[in-house]
Structure 1
Amino acid sequence: MPLKVVFMGTPDFAVPTLAEIVGGGHEVVAVYTRAPAPAGRGMALRPSPVQALAEKFGLPVLTPATLRTEEATETFRAHEADVAVVVAYGMILPPAILGAPALGCLNLHASLLPRWGGGGGGQRAGAGGEEERGVEGM
């Protein structure tokens, strides 16, 4: 059964998951990612890899500076998502966001938590010899 999904991610690492969700026939009602950042010699604003893919699929993209406002919470709730899938988004989700989707939020991480949590967890897990990965419900 197709789900209504909010996807939250930013770097290349998150792109395959978004592609699989779309390819699986789920309805992606919104994609949250970090705002475009200056990059390259001209320091032109460059969208995140997730934003670039979302735009190719014609998905709505949101780049809020924070999720800790009532406005951000109401916008998120208005999606009426069944689930949120979070992959290297880059922001901590407040309780109001975590509780909004009917089935909750799933955090896909490059390493098992909490041992290798935080930024660079995937690299530290690899350097530590870890071969196992996991999925965490938030």
Structure 2
Amino acid sequence: MSDPLRIIFMGTPEFAVPSLHALLDCPEQVVGVVCQPDCRQGRGKKLCPPPVKVLAEEAGIPVLQPTCICNDAFFEAISALEPDLIVVTAYGRILPGCLLKLPRFGTINVHGSLLPKYRGAAPIQWAVINGETEAGVTIMQMDEGVDTGDILLPIKLPITEEDTSGTLFTKLAYLGGRPSLRRYLGSREVTCLP
């Protein structure tokens, strides 16, 4: 793998921003970003873009905000970008199998827990509620289950007595970006799917 990978990033909330930053700082080429549609927020119900969209637009990267990801139009739009790899961090929807298998290196997910613990939504909150002494992020190969794919890289972080779900959220968002993604992509152990 000597040529830069063509990567599509899928993420929406603030938790995903450090992951996109990490990809933008790598030699890889982010060819597109997919995030949830803008939503109305606050008392005035002002239409606000997701944090990932804001960063992508600042970086000049094309952004897709589909309302449906299970149709031919979306699949064709992603296919046209010719991705080698899709990286997902807190996108907010379950991806169809055809999308997961589209890139030659498949689709990886940056998940905010030490899998297999705390699969699915709210892993950070559950780690705090359950009194865990450590948390972390896991880079995993995605399959059609919910956080059930092969674990590629887990990175641990101690939970301190002062940590709340808010402080842990910030720490894990950062950990999922530069330390995890850059380490994984830099290892050059990204392999083609069978």
- Identify the residue that residue 46 of structure 2 maps to in structure 1: 44
- Stretches of structure 2 lacking an aligned partner (at least 5 in a row): 143-194
Q: CA deviation at 1:113?
A: 3.2
- Identify the residue that residue 72 of structure 2 maps to in structure 1: 70
- Identify the residue that residue 96 of structure 1 maps to in structure 2: 98
Q: CA deviation at 1:137?
A: 0.6
Deviations 1:16-38 (A, max 9, x none): 01001011132111100000000
Q: Secondary structure at the match of 1:71?
A: helix
Q: Secondary structure at the match of 1:24?
A: coil
Q: CA deviation at 1:133?
A: 2.8
- Stretches of structure 1 lacking an aligned partner (at least 5 in a row): none
Pick aligned residue for 1:12 from 4, 14, 39: 14
Deviations 1:83-122 (A, max 9, x none): 0000000011101100111100000010133431222112
Report sequence identity in percent: 41
Residues 88-127 of structure 1 aligned to structure 2 (within 5 Å):
88-127=90-129
Q: What letter corresponds to residue 101 of structure 1 in structure 2? A: P
Q: 1:17, 1:91 → 2: CA distance?
A: 17
- Identify the residue that residue 80 of structure 1 maps to in structure 2: 82
Query: Who wins on radius of gyration, i.e. which is larger?
Result: 2
Q: CA deviation at 1:60?
A: 0.5
Give the TM-score, by structure 1 length: 0.94
Q: Secondary structure at the match of 2:33?
A: strand
- Quick check: 1:135 aligned with 2:139? yes
- Identify the residue that residue 25 of structure 1 maps to in structure 2: 27
Q: 2:6, 2:31 → 1: CA distance?
A: 6
Q: Secondary structure at the match of 2:67?
A: coil
Q: 1:72, 1:7 → 2: CA distance?
A: 14
